Amino acid sequence: MTAALRFDPIRLPPECEKLRKEVRAFLAEEIAAGTFDPHKPNREDTDAPEFSRRVGAKGWLGMTWPKKYGGHERSFLERYVVTEEMRVANAPTRRFFVADRQSGPVLLKYAPENIKMDILPRICRGEVCFAIGMSEPNSGSDLFAAKTKATKTDGGYLINGTKIWTSSAHIADYMIAIFRTSPPTKENRRHGLTQFLVKMKQPGIQVNPIGQITGQYEFNEVVFTDFFVPEDHVLGEVDGAWKQATSELAYERSGPERFLETYYVLTELVRAVGKNPDTRSAEGIGRLVAQLHTMRRMSVSVAGMLQAGKEPVVEASIVKDIGTVWEQALPHRVRDLAAFVDPDASNHETLENQLSFAIKTAPKLTIQGGTTEVLRGIIARGLGLR
């Protein structure tokens, strides 16, 4: 038999439901106070530093990390609940999301103690924003083609080169980036890249915003010119970043953010069709809800496996593949179903605006954080085909 895929029916434990109520109450207060409008995912300014601090104060950042670093030692399933409630409410999570999901865990694993003690508590308080410096102008999916150089100098490294498509670099306090410390070897083309912690907003770093087809400016070009990074900002093994990448993918790839990005159009469609939908609308909605429910079950199952200390890399890649393809198609399916909705329905304008934004957002969903093609390659490897 092929190595069997596992998606055990994991249920959220009772403490999660209590937490969910707290998160919903908190978000309702924030909405009432005007922090954000849940019906408007297309707002131009998605940065909300004060909101980020209030989320930190609630104890919802660094939830699974050790208490000595400001964390809360709660479960992945509890973090899952916070993440999905924030996403469904269209809360402005931009400032803290990357640090909480990805950068913090990398620091926990690879940073020296002094840096952990300095930065992790600030992530937990919602004070610092992180960016991820992976792609370069000629190195996207082919991560190991990165050329931005880190040259050894007294007490550290000098960085020269350009990162691109770097989300949030314009507001980020830190970036975790990979730079080339050695050329690749004949035996291993992945050799020679090292992971670094970079303090942003300093001379030697220039951040150039790049406009997106949605009208937003979320990603950037980041140019490094003789930028100095101290020795203790090396994360993990010099020349060995490739060994560090894979185990984190399961965290990054299977969360609720991988299928809920355009969820809001489905809610609004249900509102527009009303309590007694025609057969066509009912069938369309029913199918979409069944697909959504299935993906959430898969995603919760992966979270449960992570909590149990497993590394379900293939399962996580499957969740992201299916989830992103679905959330990309969702606005188009909703548009189909909305074609015969009464244009005088009270939320018609909201739905139209949301559809317009979601349709423009859709193309990026199967590109960011690992393209569909890369994911299917990983799944194929897991099946024993490569």
Q: Which two tokens stand for residue 35?
A: 């922090």
Q: Quick one: which segment of 58-66, 121-129, 151-159, 278-286 binds another protein (CB under 8 A)?
A: 278-286
Identity of the residue, 29 or 73, whose beta carbon is nearer to another protein in the bound complex: 29
Interface with another protein, residue 4, by CB under 8 A: yes
Among 176, 205, 235, 379, binds another protein (CB under 8 A): 379
Q: What are phi and psi of 195, to 5 degrees?
A: -90, 135
Question: Cβ of 259: how many Cβ atoms within 10 Å?
Answer: 29
Segment 72-131, which members bind another protein (CB under 8 A)?
84-85, 88
Identity of the residue, 21 or 201, whose beta carbon is nearer to another protein in the bound complex: 21
Among 211, 286, 343, 363, binds another protein (CB under 8 A): 286
Cβ at position 293, least distance to another protein in Å: 4
Among 45, 183, 187, 275, binds another protein (CB under 8 A): 275
Type and span of the H or E element at 174: strand 174-180
For the window 316-355, what string marks contact with another protein as x by the rule CB under 8 A? --x--xx---------------------------------
Interface with another protein, residue 375, by CB under 8 A: yes
Identity of the residue, 52 or 299, whose beta carbon is nearer to another protein in the bound complex: 299
Place of tokens 């937990």: 124
Identity of the residue, 122 or 296, whose beta carbon is nearer to another protein in the bound complex: 296
Helices (H), the chain: 14-32, 49-57, 76-88, 94-98, 104-110, 113-124, 241-253, 264-273, 279-307, 313-338, 348-365, 372-382
Interface with another protein, residue 358, by CB under 8 A: no
Interface with another protein, residue 62, by CB under 8 A: no
Distance CA 75, CA 273 (A): 38
Distance CA 305, CA 205 (A): 40
Beta strand pairing call for 130-133 and 174-180: parallel
DSSP readout, 39-77?
T-TT-S----HHHHHHHHHTT-SSTTS-GGGT-----HH
Q: Quick one: which segment of 49-57, 195-203, 311-319, 338-346 binds another protein (CB under 8 A)?
A: 311-319
Segment 185-204, which members bind another protein (CB under 8 A)?
none
Beta bridge partners of 176: 132, 197
Cβ at position 378, least distance to another protein in Å: 8
Cβ at position 7, least distance to another protein in Å: 4
Identity of the residue, 52 or 281, whose beta carbon is nearer to another protein in the bound complex: 281
Identity of the residue, 2 or 114, whose beta carbon is nearer to another protein in the bound complex: 2
Q: Quick one: which segment of 104-112, 131-139, 144-152, 279-287 binds another protein (CB under 8 A)?
A: 279-287
Interface with another protein, residue 12, by CB under 8 A: yes
Distance CA 236, CA 10 (A): 33
Q: Which residues of 261-300 are buried (b: 16+ CB within 10 A; e: fewer)?
A: bbbbbbbbbbbbbeeebeeebeebbeebeebbeebbebbb
Distance CA 110, CA 116 (A): 9
Identity of the residue, 117 or 289, whose beta carbon is nearer to another protein in the bound complex: 289
Among 173, 218, 315, 327, binds another protein (CB under 8 A): 315
Distance CA 223, CA 244 (A): 25
Cβ at position 17, least distance to another protein in Å: 9
Distance CA 125, CA 104 (A): 12
Cβ at position 203, least distance to another protein in Å: 45
Interface with another protein, residue 267, by CB under 8 A: yes
Interface with another protein, residue 273, by CB under 8 A: yes
Tell me which residue of 191, 194, 189 sits closest to 176, measured CA to CA: 194
Tell me which residue of 385, 353, 377, 312 sits closest to 8, measured CA to CA: 312
Contacting positions for another protein (CB under 8 A): 1-2, 4-5, 7-9, 11-12, 20, 84-85, 88, 263, 266-268, 270-271, 273-277, 279, 281-287, 289-298, 301, 314-315, 318, 321-322, 373, 375-377, 379-380, 382-386
